[in-house]
Amino acid sequence: MSIRILYFAGLKEALGLPSETIELPAGVLTVGSLRDWLVGQGRAALATAKNLRCAVNQDMAKLDATIKDGDEVAFFPPVTGG
């Protein structure tokens, strides 16, 4: 399964990339399992981000949200502005 992952704000800076397209191994079927797999692949910033937010295909999602081939998953910490 191939998906596109977007990183925003501090995650983008910590990981040094704004996005990537990856092939997921079998068994990675939710946003939470994707996050855990990415942490295992060296993206530790995802494990330490507090109040991590995520979206699937531009809709806010929880960690138990299902992902499928061709989806776009975004990870971002909460941000404030004014």
Q: Which two tokens stand for residue 69?
A: 């081939």
User: Residue 81 has what pLDDT?
Assistant: 58
The dihedral built from the CA positions of residue 17, 71, 49 and 76, taken in this order, carries a sign that is positive
Question: What are the pLDDT digits (tens) for 51-80?
Answer: 889 999 999 999 999 999 999 999 998 775
User: Residue 63 has what pLDDT?
Assistant: 94
User: Three-state SS for 74?
Assistant: strand
State yes or no: pLDDT of 21 exceeds 80.
Answer: yes
Cβ neighbours for 67, distance < 8 A, ≥ 6 positions apart: 1, 3, 24, 28, 29, 30, 31, 34, 56, 73
Class of domain 2-76: alpha beta
What mean pLDDT value characterizes the chain?
A: 92
Q: Show me where the domains of the chain are located.
A: 2-76
